[in-house]
């Protein structure tokens, strides 16, 4: 929807995508600066920020995949299950079968693709509601995880452990600990993968025909069809990309935790959806931005860190704050849409 032609109202000067993106980035910055001012020490260190990245690399990857699917008007709640399944399968392969690290990456991508192909086919070519399909996918993945292996265990495969402990040092961002030792700031490999994928997907969505057709299909299926876009194939590909991202995200998650367990990544699908929404992706489709999603993940984890360091250590506060934030952004979206509609009418 190009709203630049509409007259009047500050809302209409910028497009939906940019408006929601701006809101997200401003809120994130306010939150982070607020945290630095009011809670001091911890947030001042650059490593705090990198820790947020390290812990959430997998979430960033799954969330940007989720954004693609949401922009094209669908939804996929199986990503958390896929992440759990990927980490369990890779863990079993590496530890029990003493497998190769590179092959385990292929397994992760393969599982992601398999889920994407099946779910995409059901949604795009058989017109079944994406929510129901991916709900079943989620339960299938979670169930399969338990069937593959019931007990959680740590992976001791030396090649994998070496890869897991690889740290990329960032010069000039370190800090001194209490003993005065200099500790340089670092990020894990997963973060590099995540940021690379963010850039790639951002460029794809922005500059390729396929990327634009995601927006077109999500915005208005009928008009997209009339423009000669293959709506079914676009929908299908959006699900394939989402599940593929979940597969890669699963491997990054696995790289971060280094173990397989059926309870891994529980609720991750909700965090991914929440991050996308906070990042300005509209549920109704057609509006969204990958960079926004990145900021959505960062806002989400910053607020978790704030809650944790504000002494509200009890686990329930995290759930409540995330839900509260999600609710707030949903309401903002709802109001923005309403304003737009009103502006269109007059």
Partner 1 sequence: MNKSLFKKITGNQMFIPLVALLLLAVINLIVDPGFFKVSMNTNNAGNPVLSGYLITILDYGSELAILAMGMTLVTAASGGQDISVGATIAIAGSAMLRVLCGTNPRPEAIQAPIIVAFLVACLVGMLCGAFNGALVSIFKIQPMIATLVLFTAGRSIAAWINVNKLPIVPDPKFAYFGGFIPGIPVPTTVFIVLVCIIVVALVLKFTNLGLYTQAVGINEKSARLNGINPTFIKFLSFVILGLCVAVAALIKVSRLSTINYSVIAKDIEMDAILAVALGGNALSGGKFNMWASVLGAYVIQFLTTTLYKFNVQSDALAAYKAVVVILLVFFSAPKVREYLSAFARRFSSKSKQRESKGEA
Binding site for partner 1 (CB under 8 A): 75, 122, 125-129, 131-133, 135-140, 142-144, 146-147, 150, 262, 267, 270, 273-274, 277, 283-284, 314-320, 322-324, 326-327, 330-331, 333-334, 337
**Minimal distance, residue 241 CB to partner 1, in Å:** 20
Q: Which is nearer to partner 1, 18 or 318 (CB)?
A: 318
Q: How many residues in total does the chain contain?
A: 346
Cα angle, residue 309 at apex, residues 304 and 315 outer, rounded to 5°: 55
CA 235 to chain centre: 19
Rounded-to-integer distance, Cα 155 and Cα 151, Å? 13
Q: Which is nearer to partner 1, 54 or 72 (CB)?
A: 72
**Minimal distance, residue 145 CB to partner 1, in Å:** 8
Q: Which is nearer to partner 1, 94 or 273 (CB)?
A: 273
Give me 315's structure tokens.
């686990």
**Minimal distance, residue 73 CB to partner 1, in Å:** 11
**Minimal distance, residue 290 CB to partner 1, in Å:** 20
**Minimal distance, residue 201 CB to partner 1, in Å:** 22
**Minimal distance, residue 150 CB to partner 1, in Å:** 7
**Minimal distance, residue 46 CB to partner 1, in Å:** 30
Cα angle, residue 50 at apex, residues 184 and 275 outer, rounded to 5°: 175
DSSP labels, 266-321: TTHHHHHHHHHHHTT--TTSS---HHHHHHHHHHHHHHHHHHHHTT--SHHHHHHH
Q: Which is nearer to partner 1, 77 or 191 (CB)?
A: 77
- Those residues whose C-beta lies under 8 Å from the C-beta of residue 186, and which sit 6 or more positions away, are 47, 50, 167, 168, 169, 170
DSSP labels, 166-179: -EEEEEEEEEE-TT
Q: Which is nearer to partner 1, 73 or 190 (CB)?
A: 73
Q: Which is nearer to partner 1, 205 or 282 (CB)?
A: 282
Rounded-to-integer distance, Cα 15 and Cα 159, Å? 48
Rounded-to-integer distance, Cα 25 and Cα 291, Å? 9
Q: Which is nearer to partner 1, 119 or 213 (CB)?
A: 119
Q: In which element (H, E) is residue 24 found?
A: helix 16-39
Give me 336's structure tokens.
């923005």
Q: Which is nearer to partner 1, 124 or 197 (CB)?
A: 124
**Minimal distance, residue 127 CB to partner 1, in Å:** 5
Q: Which is nearer to partner 1, 185 or 322 (CB)?
A: 322
Rounded-to-integer distance, Cα 306 and Cα 35, Å? 7
**Minimal distance, residue 85 CB to partner 1, in Å:** 10
- Compute the Cα dihedral for 32, 33, 37, 40 and give only its sign: positive
Q: Is 185 helix (H, G, I), strand (E, B) or coil?
A: strand
Give me 69's structure tokens.
């699917």
């Amino acid at each position: 929807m190009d709203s630049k032609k509409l007259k009047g109202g500050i809302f209409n000067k910028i497009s939906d995508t940019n408006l929601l993106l701006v809101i997200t980035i401003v809120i994130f910055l306010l939150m982070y600066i607020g945290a630095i001012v009011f809670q001091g020490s911890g947030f001042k260190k650059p490593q705090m920020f990198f820790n947020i990245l390290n812990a959430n690399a997998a979430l960033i990857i799954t969330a940007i995949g989720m954004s693609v699917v949401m922009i094209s008007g669908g939804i996929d709640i199986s990503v958390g299950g896929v992440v759990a399944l990927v980490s369990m399968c890779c863990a079993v392969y590496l530890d029990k079968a003493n497998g190769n690290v590179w092959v385990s990456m292929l397994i992760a991508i393969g599982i992601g693709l398999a889920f994407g192909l099946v779910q995409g086919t059901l949604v795009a070519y058989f017109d079944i509601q994406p929510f129901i399909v991916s709900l079943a996918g989620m339960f299938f993945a979670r169930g399969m995880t338990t069937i593959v292996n019931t007990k959680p265990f740590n992976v001791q495969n030396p090649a994998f452990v070496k890869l897991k402990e690889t740290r990329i040092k960032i010069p000039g961002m370190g800090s001194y600990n209490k003993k005065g030792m200099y500790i340089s700031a670092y990020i894990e490999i997963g973060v590099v993968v995540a940021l690379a994928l963010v850039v790639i997907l951002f460029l794809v969505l922005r500059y390729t025909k396929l990327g634009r057709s995601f927006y077109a299909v999500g915005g208005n299926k009928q008009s997209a069809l009339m423009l000669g876009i293959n709506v079914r194939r676009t929908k299908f590909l959006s699900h394939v990309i989402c599940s593929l991202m979940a597969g890669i995200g699963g491997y990054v998650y696995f790289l971060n935790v280094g173990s397989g367990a059926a309870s891994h990544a529980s609720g991750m699908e909700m965090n991914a959806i929440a991050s996308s929404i906070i990042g300005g992706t509209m549920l109704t489709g057609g509006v969204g931005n990958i960079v926004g999603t990145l900021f959505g993940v960062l806002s989400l984890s910053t607020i978790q860190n704030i809650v944790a360091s504000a002494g509200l250590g009890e686990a329930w506060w995290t759930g409540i704050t995330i839900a509260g934030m999600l609710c707030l952004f949903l309401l903002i979206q709802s109001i923005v849409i309403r304003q737009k509609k009103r502006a269109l009418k007059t």
